[in-house]
Amino acid sequence: MGFPPRTWSANCRCGDLILAIISDEEAGGEYGASFLVERHAANFADVKYASANSAARLMIEGMTAALPVLPAMLLRGMLRPRISGLILKLLGEKGATFAPLLRNTVSATIVGGGEKINIHPSEITVELDGRTLPGVTPQQFIDELRRFAINDSIRLEVLRYDSCAPAPDMGMFDLLSDVLKEADKEAIPIPMLLPGGTDGRLFARLSIQTYGFLPMPLSKDMQFTKLIHAADERIPVEAVSFGTDAIYNVTNRSIVKMIIPSPL
């Protein structure tokens, strides 16, 4: 697959553009982003923003701004813990998309026990994949597990925890929105809280705000969230070209400063 070559404006002075290709985000980022942040932080000096391939309040308020009054009121009610569960039920299948954005979640993903079929194991271990909301500490998460799911007789141990900024820096959001609306006149840009971990949490240690910006026009019948990491994960070819153009335009505008005479 080929794309037309890109060039910067001839009359400009360009800042640095760092391309970091990291392959172990899904494995925790220990040998990729974590290594770069801990051992090569100087290479990212003065970097403020990054784009990677926000809080729930920002996302929901962005959505309600584009909705009629009654649906907006219903959606905004999800920000109220006492009634959020009821609203999620009223939304049905659509509510399942919002549920992990409003509460801590946990899944048992690895179970270990004995080595022989005829011997009872002396110990059984269960590894849990916990996803916490921004600002929640490991101890708060453990306390919640104790309260609702796991009794005190079972020992809990934190194997890995990487904190993230409790609130995002939205300083680049207007630029991303402008590029998206120029590419798609019907687009309504909103920030999104991602119910998963990315390398952005590691670069946040260097005060770098990461934006997951890869716009893709998808058909209405394509259940994209169910395809992520699935056996048949895919996106349309046209979406790749669309996203490439958008990323180029954002990059061009953010690092290229036109030389304009200062006003008298």
pLDDT at 260: 42
pLDDT at 52: 58
Given the DSSP bridges, would you call strands 49-52 and 125-131 parallel, antiparallel or unpaired? unpaired
More confident residue, 127 or 168: 127
pLDDT at 15: 62
Question: Is pLDDT at 120 greater than 80 in this prediction?
Answer: yes
Token duo for residue 212: 């997951």
pLDDT at 27: 73
Q: What integer is the mean pLDDT of 185-209? A: 83
Residue 14 carries which side chain, given as an amino acid letter? C
The average confidence (pLDDT) of the chain is 81
- Provide the pLDDT confidence category of residue 259 given band limits of 50, 70 and 90: very low
Q: Which DSSP string do the residues of 80-138 spell out, in sequence order?
A: SHHHHHHHHHHHGGGHHHHHHHHS-EEEEEEEE--SSTTS--S--EEEEEEE--TT--H
Q: What integer is the mean pLDDT of 247-263? A: 66
Count Cα atoms within 13 angstroms, Cβ side, for 234.
7
Q: What integer is the mean pLDDT of 169-177? A: 88
**Nearest 5 degrees, angle CA 246-CA 28-CA 234?**
45
Q: How distant, in Å, are the alpha carbons of 62, 172, 190, 201 from that of 213?
A: 16, 11, 11, 16
More confident residue, 2 or 181: 181
pLDDT digits (tens, 9 = 90+) for 39-96: 888 888 878 777 654 467 778 888 888 888 888 888 888 888 888 888 888 888 778 8
Question: Cα-flanking dihedrals φ and ψ of residue 12, to 5°?
Answer: -155, 165
pLDDT digits (tens, 9 = 90+) for 16-29: 778 888 877 777 77
pLDDT at 7: 52
User: pTM here?
Assistant: 0.68
Give CA 175 to chain center in angstroms. 18
pLDDT digits (tens, 9 = 90+) for 123-147: 999 999 998 887 788 999 999 999 9
pLDDT at 62: 81
